[in-house]
Structure 1
Amino acid sequence: MELRQLEYFVAVAEEAGFTRAAQRVHISQSGVSAQVKALEAELGAELFDRSGRVARLTEAGRVALEYAQAALTAATRLRQAIDEVKGLVRGHLTVGMVTGCEITPLFAALAAFHREHPAIELELLEDDSRTLVNSVRTGLADIALVGVACAPPEHLSAQVIASEGLVALVPPDHPQASVAGLPLRELMAYSLVTLPEGTGIRAAFDEACVSASLIPDVVLVASAPAAVADMAARGLGIAVLSESMGKLHPGLVAVPITELGIPALLALVWRPRTSPALAALLPHLRREFGDN
């Protein structure tokens, strides 16, 4: 039997279907089906009950699944061990980044890493923070730069890059442009332009509002911070962003939002068990961001 047959068998078992398994392993459904049938022929037993819409494991399939998963894990660890012994790091790394988040140190770290390890293919994945955290948990991403509220996600290794308060971006002639700070409760009197749910800044803002029993009037949501600021400059509402984004638009004044009590964090997150490739990338990231 071949490792790919075991991989496809495990994928069908875990996804409970041939279509989703094919999407997961990036080959056609017919290809997955053919390889699973070949494995069944070699074992002399059907591994799935195909009579329904969901692929269900037979008794033989349930027994085989545990050993197939163990075999795949052993093969991965074997490759990692040999790579480490030989000083070779190769493979593929998927690095997640919040949509519209242009963080120069991240790009600098990836460039330095590529010069040192050109055999490793790098893939940059952009999405909202909530989706990226889930991608790291499930293995779809190896590491991600995400925004979170209060603290990094549980059960993941993390490096906090920045902890910031939030600001309200308003035009110079706005009634709040000259104040030293804008209390959260007073901000509720205005229409707001924000980042979407699933971003760290929005999560910190929403949690602060919930804690204070306040309901914000969000009139527009944009995925890019620069777009949020631009919409505020055009009079759609007050923009709510982080302190570091306060200079995104030269025509706006950044007023600190007070009485929040919940910081917005920018953090790198990854699974505790690292591959050799990720282990080689981490020092570059720590060097660029600083090991906080």
Structure 2
Amino acid sequence: MELRQLEYFVAVAEEQNFTRAAERVHISQSGVSAQIRRLEQELGAELFDRSGRTATLTVAGKAALEHARTALAATGALAQAVGEVSDLIRGRLTVGMVVGCTVTPLFDALADFHRAHPGVEIALLEDNSDRLVQAVRAGSLDLALIGSAATTPDGLEALTIVSERLVAAVPPGHPLAGADRVTLRDLGSHPLICMPPGTGLRTVFDRACAAQGLHPAIALEAGASDAMADLAARGLGVAVLSASMAESYRDRLTARTIDDVEIPALLCLVWRDARGPAVRELLLRCRRAFAAPPPVGGGVAPGGGGA
């Protein structure tokens, strides 16, 4: 008994026609018929009643069908299991990360994965969030750490790492430093320092402004929070940052939550639903790494809140 005979048997049973079954398994009708005859000879019973216009299962055929399906399913599972092991022995994993941030838990997860599966080649690429999302959708990236605006990108699965409000960061002595309340309209009176378009923080900010019909002047753009903080500290504008970013510069900047921007800025891992074993293994390690308390000086460093 051969697996291909069981495959042809199931095809004929489901199609109820030898011609359609032959088209389904991509061989000639005579080839299907010959293999079914050999299977019947080996089993000692006819599996189909061929007297009518359709191929109808006999009592013996009905008894055999589920066993044939089970055997084929077991063979498929075996092939998948071996394939997954092979992927984790000599595969490739391509990971994307938002520009200008140091995300220690992600690096820890990559190192843990590499120790467990040294045969898998790891590539790490930086880009802005919009392009990273496009690359994950296209399949050129397996997994990406992105900044996003409150929602998971369509068509992708996500694991949220950070969710926080936007703040205005200014040096001591700035008019906003002593304000009890800061709104988007308040920011319109000052030059602004923002992340570039296509980044999570900028998307949150632009959406909030558009909802109020505001068009604030963006004086300066920088892809890293360090650069934004340096520019703001020198009095060149108000830096629009996430709360955790601004906390890193509290020695030289005062942060005020922007009250009327309620959309949170997210930092999240995104991947496609149809993912391979290497991605599943890395996700498991990422969940552990991000759930663990950060060491002193570790965690999500400046730039990690919404690039």
Q: TM-score, normalised by structure 2?
A: 0.67
* 1:232-287 superposed Cα distances (whole Å, 9 cap, x missing partner): 11111000010010133321111111111211111100000111111111100011
Structure 1: 5+ residue stretches without partners: 1-76
Q: Which residue of 2 aligns with 1:219?
A: 219
Give the C-alpha shift of residue 81 in structure 1.
4.1
Matched, 1:114 2:114: yes
Q: 1:228: which partner in 2?
A: 228
Residues paired across the two proteins, number:
215
Alignment deviations for residues 71-125 of structure 1 (CA, whole Å, 9 cap, x no partner): xxxxxx9986423367944311111000001111111111111111111111111
Alignment partner, residue 166 of structure 1? 166
Bigger-Rg structure (1/2): 2
- 2:239 matches 1:252: no
1:175-186 matched pairs, under 5 angstroms? 175-186=175-186
Query: Larger deviation: 156-165 or 78-87?
Result: 78-87
Letter in 2 for 1:275: G
- Which residue identity is paired with 1:109? A
The letter for the 2-side match of 1:91 is: G
Equivalent-residue separation in structure 2 for 1:85 and 1:222 (angstroms): 43
Residue 258 of structure 2 aligns to a residue whose secondary structure is strand
Q: Is contact 1:90-1:277 (8 Å) kept?
A: no
Task: Find the aligned partners of 2:126 and 2:80 in 1 and give their Cα distance.
Answer: 27
For 2:282 and 2:185, how far apart are their aligned partners in 1?
43
Find the aligned partners of 1:150 and 1:215 in 2 and give their Cα distance.
21
Q: 1:14-29 residue pairs with structure 2 within 5 A?
A: none
Question: What are the equivalent positions in structure 2 for 1:69-218 lying under 5 Å apart?
Answer: 81-84=81-84, 88-218=88-218
- Secondary structure at the counterpart of residue 160 of structure 2: strand
Of the structure 1 ranges 246-255 and 135-144, higher mean CA displacement relative to structure 2 is found in 246-255
Q: Secondary structure at the match of 1:137?
A: helix
Q: Aligned-pair RMSD on alpha carbons?
A: 2.0
Deviation track 1:32-56 (CA, whole Å, cap 9, x = no partner) reads xxxxxxxxxxxxxxxxxxxxxxxxx
SS in 1 for 2:247: coil
Structure 2 residue ranges without an equivalent (≥5): 1-76, 293-307
Inter-partner Cα distance in structure 1 for 2:199 and 2:85:
40
